[in-house]
C-alpha cells in the first residue's frame, strides 16, 4: 500500500487525466483531477487504453492515470510518457510486486490501495487542492464501487448526509449504464464543476430508463440464465455484463454471477464476474489465473472481476470456476 499526499499541482502545467470510462469510480476520478488541476481528461477502457496512452504526446507535462489496472505491455507506454511528463498513477486493482517496483524505479508517483476505490484515493491525494463539496463525489464512487468501508472512505462519508449520497450515487450509476462516451464526457465535465448528478441534463431520465430495464431483466434472467452449481451465467448484448452479473446473484440466488458479451469477429468473450460476500475464493486472483491458462487475460477484486478469453474456452472457464468453488 502506498498512500501519500499530493504535491502541489503546477497550475501552469498542461495536465491530462486518463481514467476508466466504465463506471462511476473512473468518471469521478477524472472529475476530481479536473476540479483540482483544470486538466483535460480522456476516458478509456481496457480495450482501448494502449491506443489512448499512445495519443499522449509532448504537449502534456503532467499525466494522471486513474482506476485502470496495468500490465507489462502498458508499462512500455508509461516509460515513453515518463520521458517528457511527470506521471501519477492512482489505482486500487491488484498490482504485481515487480510492476510496482518498476514504477518506482521509473519515478512514477504511485498511489495504490486495494481497500479504497480510486476516487477516494484521488480525493485523498489531491485533498489540499479540492473544495469540501468534492468529497461528496468521492463518496458516490465509494458506494458505487462497494468500497464504502475503506478506512479513508468511511471517515470521508461520515462528513456528509448519507441519504443524499445514496440518492445521487444511484442516479449517476444507473445513468452511466445507459450513457454513451459523449454523454459520459459531458457528465464528467459538469461533475468537475461540482454540479450534482440530478442537476445534470439527461441524468435523471437515463437513470429511470435503467430502472425500468432492471425490472425487465429481473423477470427475464431466471429463464435465460444457466446455473451450474452455485454459478449462474448468461450472455448479454445490450446490457453491461457487470450489471447482469450482479443481478444474477440476486434473481438466480447464485454465489457467483457471470455476465458475458461475445465479439463474433474477434471470437473473444468479455466476462464480468461478481461474487457474494461469503465467497471463500478471491475472484480477482482466480480469474486472472484461469484466463491466462486459457489464452486470455483478466483480474480484479476479491468479489468483482473481469476477463477477456477466447470464446472457444468459455465453457472450460466456467467449469473450472465451478470446480474452484467446491
Write out the residues near Mn ion by the rule CB under 5 A.
25, 67, 118, 145
Phi, psi of 56 (to 5 degrees): -80, 115
Looking at the Cβ atoms of 85 and 175, the one nearer to Mn ion is 175
At its nearest, how many Å lie between Mn ion and the CB of residue 21? 12
Phi, psi of 108 (to 5 degrees): -75, 135
DSSP state of 130: S
Q: Which residue is nearest to Mn ion (CB)?
A: 25
Looking at the Cβ atoms of 145 and 239, the one nearer to Mn ion is 145
Neighbouring residues of 185: CB distance < 8 A, sequence distance ≥ 6: 41, 43
At its nearest, how many Å lie between Mn ion and the CB of residue 226? 28
The partner residues of 228 in beta bridges, in order of sequence, read 231
Answer yes or no: are the C-beta atoms of 86 and 38 closer than 8 Å: no
At its nearest, how many Å lie between Mn ion and the CB of residue 143? 12
Looking at the Cβ atoms of 60 and 148, the one nearer to Mn ion is 148
Looking at the Cβ atoms of 34 and 301, the one nearer to Mn ion is 301
**Measured between alpha carbons, how far is 309 from 258 in angstroms, rounded to an integer?**
13
At its nearest, how many Å lie between Mn ion and the CB of residue 228? 28
Q: Which of 35, 81, 40 is nearest to 58 (CA)?
A: 81
The partner residues of 297 in beta bridges, in order of sequence, read 308
Looking at the Cβ atoms of 67 and 168, the one nearer to Mn ion is 67
Looking at the Cβ atoms of 225 and 275, the one nearer to Mn ion is 275
At its nearest, how many Å lie between Mn ion and the CB of residue 314? 25
Neighbouring residues of 239: CB distance < 8 A, sequence distance ≥ 6: 177, 213, 217, 259
Phi, psi of 15 (to 5 degrees): -115, 140
At its nearest, how many Å lie between Mn ion and the CB of residue 92? 6
At its nearest, how many Å lie between Mn ion and the CB of residue 312? 30
Looking at the Cβ atoms of 102 and 146, the one nearer to Mn ion is 146
Residue in the structure block whose three cell numbers are 425487465 = 216
At its nearest, how many Å lie between Mn ion and the CB of residue 118? 5
Looking at the Cβ atoms of 26 and 135, the one nearer to Mn ion is 26
At its nearest, how many Å lie between Mn ion and the CB of residue 93? 7
Looking at the Cβ atoms of 225 and 304, the one nearer to Mn ion is 304
Question: Which ranges of the chain would DSSP assign to H, the alpha helix?
Answer: 24-37, 49-54, 72-82, 97-106, 118-126, 134-144, 151-157, 162-178, 181-192, 203-224, 241-251, 283-293, 314-324
For 275, other C-beta atoms within 10 Å of its C-beta total 27
Cell numbers given for 196: 450534482
Instruction: Tell me which long-range contacts 234-241 makes (C-beta under 8 A, separation of at least 24).
Output: 234/258, 234/259, 234/260, 235/259, 235/260, 235/261, 235/262, 236/260, 236/261, 237/261, 239/177, 239/213, 240/22, 240/177, 240/272, 241/270, 241/271, 241/272, 241/306
Amino acid at each position: 500500500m502506498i498512500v501519500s499526499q499530493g504535491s502541489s499541482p503546477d497550475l501552469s502545467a498542461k495536465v491530462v487525466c486518463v481514467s476508466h470510462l466504465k463506471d462511476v469510480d473512473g468518471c469521478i476520478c477524472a472529475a476530481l483531477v479536473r476540479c483540482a488541476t483544470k486538466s483535460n481528461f480522456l476516458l478509456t477502457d481496457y480495450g482501448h487504453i494502449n491506443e489512448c496512452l499512445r495519443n499522449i504526446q509532448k504537449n502534456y507535462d503532467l499525466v494522471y492515470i486513474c482506476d485502470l489496472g496495468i500490465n507489462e505491455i502498458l508499462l512500455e507506454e508509461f516509460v515513453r510518457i515518463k520521458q517528457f511528463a511527470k506521471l501519477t498513477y492512482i489505482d486500487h486493482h491488484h498490482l504485481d510486486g515487480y510492476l510496482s517496483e518498476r514504477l518506482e524505479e521509473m519515478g512514477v508517483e504511485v498511489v495504490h490501495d486495494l481497500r479504497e476505490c480510486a476516487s477516494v484515493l484521488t480525493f485523498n491525494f489531491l485533498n489540499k487542492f479540492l473544495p469540501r463539496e468534492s468529497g461528496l463525489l468521492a463518496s458516490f464512487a465509494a458506494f458505487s464501487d462497494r468500497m464504502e468501508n475503506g478506512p479513508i472512505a468511511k471517515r470521508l462519508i461520515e462528513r456528509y448526509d448519507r441519504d443524499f449520497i445514496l440518492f445521487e450515487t444511484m442516479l449517476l450509476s444507473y445513468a452511466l449504464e445507459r450513457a454513451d462516451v459523449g454523454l459520459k464526457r459531458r457528465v464528467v465535465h459538469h461533475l468537475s464543476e461540482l454540479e450534482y448528478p440530478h442537476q445534470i441534463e439527461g441524468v435523471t431520465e437515463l437513470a429511470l430508463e435503467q430502472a425500468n430495464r432492471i425490472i425487465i431483466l429481473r423477470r427475464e434472467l431466471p429463464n435465460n440464465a444457466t446455473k451450474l452449481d452455485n454459478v449462474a451465467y448468461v450472455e448479454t448484448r445490450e446490457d453491461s455484463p457487470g450489471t447482469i452479473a450482479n443481478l444474477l446473484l440476486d434473481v438466480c440466488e447464485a454465489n457467483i454471477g457471470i455476465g458475458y458479451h461475445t465479439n463474433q469477429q474477434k471470437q473473444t468473450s468479455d466476462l464480468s464476474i461478481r461474487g457474494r460476500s461469503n465467497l471463500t475464493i478471491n475472484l480477482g486472483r482466480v480469474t486472472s489465473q484461469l484466463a491466462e491458462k486459457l489464452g486470455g487475460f483478466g483480474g480484479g477484486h476479491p468479489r468483482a472481476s473481469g476477463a477477456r478469453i477466447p470464446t472457444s474456452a468459455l465453457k472450460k472457464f466456467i467449469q473450472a470456476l465451478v470446480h474452484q468453488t467446491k
